[in-house]
Copies of this chain bind each other. A is one copy, B any other.
Amino acid sequence: MDHLTQILLQLFAILVAAKLGNEVFRRLGQPTVVGEILGGVIAGPAVLGVYEVNAETELFAEIGVVLLLFQVGLETRLHELLRVGSTALAVGILGVILPFAGGFVAAELAGGDLSLAIFLAAALTATSVGITSNVLRDLGALRTRSGRIILGAAVIDDVLAIMILSVASGVAAGSFAIGNVLTLLGVAILFIGVVVIGGTRILAGRRSLLTDPEFAETPLLPGMIIMLGLAALASLVGLAAIIGAFLAGMVVGESSERHALEAEVAPVAAFFTPFFFGFIGAQVDLAGLASVDAILLLAGITALAVGSKFVGSFIGAIRQGRSRAMLIGWGMVPRGEVGIVVAGLGLSAGAIDSEIYSVVVGMAIITTLIVPPLLPRLVRRAETKATRSAEGEDGPPAGIEDDDGIETPLPG
């Protein structure tokens, strides 16, 4: 069987598995994203082995989450995001500091060396906005105040992650320089600033850039070019590609072509996102978790990961009222593909061994599976009980109150 045939079979297998998982969970009234991930577990190396993790399947997964965040960006208005800026900043920073400190101290207490401690801590700080924003989107809650805070905090989280990963890689390689870390940070912030301010100015209310090219009868291709370009550029400056895609969506979303673009992106994203969810599930490695020790370690690390991220984000969001802080705290918990990527970097840098790697991957997947079932109830409580007084914090709520309420009845 030639290589391309194998890849086609694997893409077919993961698409079928993810969609069967979706079907079962939908009929059970459970979150479909969990079904798609479990479909990936079953098709992947852990069970059937008809799907494997390789460069091509990873690319499809990456394009899947890039399209997902592009869609989320399209539905996000910059001015609404800026209005929750200070809360998002608090959530992002506290939601990074607590897991980092927790992971670092735990690793040092267990007698690990410095580079293991830093990598473990880095894996614990990661946030996978893909999972939460997908569920919020299904619930129609992306543009609620809590949804916007989660998105804003995820962007800040990723900026901090650059610093932490840069420190971790420097320590592991024995060449740590604070200047390099600050340069990376500066470039990342500059990138976000230029894209957001420059991009929205260029596109706001105009349609010319998206419709002037004659190669496109619709704004789809110009939109896809901007999405791929900013995803690649974000990746180049050390940010996650999905942050670039999210910014691209937000910038393009300021143009008058937003609704036409949303309609056209929907089928492309519907085709691709199952590859992302299935890919996460396929990372499950049961062989690495075969000992009692490993399972106990997994339980401990997972508890630490959930507790520290929840508490940090909860404290950061507490001024929004208790039910919103609950939603935001839980919404930041999934580590998803980001935690897996960090663990993979630690493995290839020699900082962590294959047992710890399996444990961290297991933690990333468990945190990703437990949150979606909680979200419908948390969203309902947060967005109906939240008091008006808490909403004024980041700016005047007048005139935008409708965005904060739930416009459609929530399912579940």
**Chain A positions near chain B (C-beta within 8 angstroms):** 1-5, 7-9, 11-12, 15-16, 19-20, 22-23, 26-27, 32, 55-56, 58-59, 62, 213-216, 218, 220-221, 224-225, 228-229, 231-232, 235-236, 241, 264-265, 267-268, 270-271, 274
Contact = CB atoms under 8 A, between A and B. Distances in A.
Contacts of A56: 55-56, 59
Contact of A221 (B225, B232, B241, B270): B270
A19 B225 contact: yes
Contacts of A236: 1, 5, 9
Given A8-B241, A55-B55, A232-B5, A23 B221 contact: no
A368 to B, nearest CB: 19
7 tightest Cβ-Cβ pairs between the two chains A and B: A8-B232, A22-B215, A5-B235, A12-B228, A264-B267, A9-B232, A23-B215
Contacts of A8: 62, 228, 231-232, 235, 241
Contacts of A27: 214
A411 to B, nearest CB: 14
B214 A23 contact: yes
A11 B22 CA distance: 30
A162 B65 CA distance: 38
Nearest to A265: B267
Given A12-B228, A220-B270, A268-B268, A55 B3 contact: yes
Q: SS class of chain A's interface: helix, strand, loop or mixed? A: helix
A56 B7 CA distance: 10
Nearest to A32: B215
Contacts of A9: 232, 236
Contacts of A216: 19
A267 B220 contact: yes
Contacts of A32: 215
A224 B271 contact: yes
Given A19-B221, A23-B215, A228-B11, A235 B4 contact: yes
Nearest to A7: B59
Given A4-B59, A59-B4, A220-B271, A228 B15 contact: yes
Given A19-B215, A19-B216, 4 more contacts: A8-B228, A22-B215, A56-B59, A220-B270
A12 B228 CA distance: 6
A244 to B, nearest CB: 9
A26 B4 CA distance: 33
A94 to B, nearest CB: 29
A11 B225 CA distance: 9
B12 A241 contact: no
A15 B224 contact: yes
A19 B232 contact: no
25 contacts: A4-B58, A4-B59, A4-B235, A4-B241, A5-B232, A7-B59, A8-B228, A12-B232, A15-B221, A15-B225, A16-B225, A16-B229, A23-B213, A23-B215, A26-B214, A32-B215, A55-B56, A56-B59, A218-B270, A220-B267, A220-B271, A221-B270, A221-B274, A265-B267, A267-B267
A1 B11 CA distance: 27
A368 B216 CA distance: 23
A224 to B, nearest CB: 6
Contacts of A11: 228, 232
A267 to B, nearest CB: 4
Contacts of A7: 59
Nearest to A212: B23
